[in-house]
């Protein structure tokens, strides 16, 4: 019996350690700071910053008022950004034409939503949110403060039976709900190296010119499978498609969520990217 209990304790300790490294068990009062991954690149040790692994960073913390949501029901998600003294932060820079971007994704990288909440006079942000499937979700508050980009994240829960889906295999094409075909043109992405991600939009075989969306031809969010690390990508447009530059911090699978606007409507497609 003693041996069995010792084995369970060892397993729990190992699980907790892995979770802490992934940024999934950080307590809201834990100290902030960029999560970094060390890797060898060209013979030199480098640290790649990743975002969205913790609720606190650079002396700021996200406080979600209602993390428990109902399934298939319209809700108002409310949250605040507070400083180390617990005071609500109200001054945010405009980034990609907005002062706050809110990303919601289920832990299996389904159910992606990109919202733009509004801030009340007391500094509380709110956004309408409907989650149709039970399970655990990750919410990311992506913003800039004092000219520095910051991504804070916390978990949302929707009660009910749920099963995680396997990540779709990599594919070069995807179709939006509006019937727009998107082709991904990218070479082999390698960890720690800048990669160019280009997308071409067509419909019925004819090229489609996208409209400006958030100050660019498209918007891209990249999340890493497992810990859902949030990658910041930079638009790099040209005349033939929608382009971005991204540096993937580690090898593994990532889910890319591309959004673009045509005829006033935002379209969303997703791709799986395998990084070596």
How does pLDDT run across 55-73, given as a tens digit for each residue? 999 999 999 999 999 999 9
183: which residues sit within 8 A by CB, 6+ positions away? 172, 173, 199, 200, 202
Residue 234 — very low, low, confident or very high, per pLDDT cuts 50/70/90?
Answer: confident
Q: pTM for the whole thing?
A: 0.82
Q: Is the pLDDT of residue 20 over 70?
A: no
Higher pLDDT: 12 or 83? It is: 83
Same-domain check for residues 40 and 148: yes
Higher pLDDT: 243 or 23? It is: 243
What residues pair up with 242 in beta bridges, in sequence order?
Answer: 199
Q: What is the average pLDDT value for the chain, to the nearest integer?
A: 84
Asked if residue 94 belongs to a domain, the reply is: yes
Q: What is the mean pLDDT of residues 100-116?
A: 97
Residues in the chain: 276
Same-domain check for residues 144 and 235: no
**CA distances (Å), 149 to each of 100, 111, 230, in order?**
11, 25, 12
Distance between the two ends of the chain, CA-based, in angstroms?
Answer: 44
Residue 228: CATH number of its domain:
2.60.40.10
Asked if residue 49 belongs to a domain, the reply is: yes
Q: What is the mean pLDDT of residues 23-45?
A: 35
d(C-alpha 69, C-alpha 270), whole Å: 25
Same-domain check for residues 140 and 231: no
Q: What's the pLDDT at 106?
A: 98
Q: What's the pLDDT at 96?
A: 87
Q: Is the pLDDT of residue 232 over 80?
A: no
Convert the pLDDT of each residue in 112-125 to its tens digit: 999 999 999 999 99
Same-domain check for residues 39 and 135: yes
Q: Number of C-alpha atoms within 13 angstroms, CB side, residue 161?
A: 0
Q: Which domain holds residue 225?
A: 173-275
Nearest CA to 141 among 175, 97, 92, 184? Answer: 92
Q: What's the pLDDT at 44?
A: 34
Asked if residue 25 belongs to a domain, the reply is: no
Q: What's the pLDDT at 136?
A: 97
Same-domain check for residues 138 and 236: no
Q: How many folded domains does the chain comprise?
A: 2
Q: What's the pLDDT at 239?
A: 54
Asked if residue 3 belongs to a domain, the reply is: no
**CA distances (Å), 123 to each of 15, 84, 91, 196, in order?**
37, 16, 9, 37
Q: What is the mean pLDDT of residues 23-52?
A: 42
Decide if 41 contacts 192 (C-beta within 8 A): yes
pLDDT above 90 coverage of the chain, percent: 74
Q: Which two tokens stand for residue 67?
A: 């993390």
Q: Is the pLDDT of residue 12 over 70?
A: no
């Amino acid at each position: 019996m003693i041996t069995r209990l010792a084995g369970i304790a060892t397993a729990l300790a190992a699980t907790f350690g892995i979770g802490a490294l992934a940024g999934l068990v950080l307590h809201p009062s834990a100290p902030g700071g960029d999560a970094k991954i060390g890797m060898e690149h060209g013979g030199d040790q480098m640290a790649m910053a990743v975002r969205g692994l913790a609720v606190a960073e650079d002396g700021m913390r996200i406080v979600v008022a209602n993390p428990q949501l109902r399934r298939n029901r319209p809700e108002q998600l409310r949250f605040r950004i507070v400083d180390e003294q617990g005071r609500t932060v109200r001054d945010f820079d405009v980034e990609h034409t907005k002062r706050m971007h809110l990303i919601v994704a289920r832990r299996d990288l389904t159910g992606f939503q990109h919202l733009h909440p509004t801030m009340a006079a007391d500094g509380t942000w709110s956004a309408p949110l409907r989650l149709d499937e039970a399970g655990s979700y990750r919410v990311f508050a992506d913003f800039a403060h004092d000219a520095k980009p910051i991504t804070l994240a916390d978990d949302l829960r929707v009660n009910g039976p749920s099963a995680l889906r396997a990540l779709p295999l990599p594919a070069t094409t995807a179709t939006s709900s509006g019937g727009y075909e998107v082709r991904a043109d990218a070479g082999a992405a390698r960890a720690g190296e800048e990669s160019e991600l280009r997308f071409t939009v067509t419909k019925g075989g004819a090229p489609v010119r996208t409209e400006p969306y958030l100050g660019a031809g498209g918007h891209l969010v990249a999340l890493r499978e497992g810990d859902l690390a949030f990658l910041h990508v930079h638009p790099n447009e040209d005349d033939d498609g929608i382009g971005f530059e991204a540096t993937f911090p580690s090898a593994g699978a990532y889910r890319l969520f591309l959004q673009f606007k045509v005829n006033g409507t935002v379209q969303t497609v997703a791709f799986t990217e395998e990084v070596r």
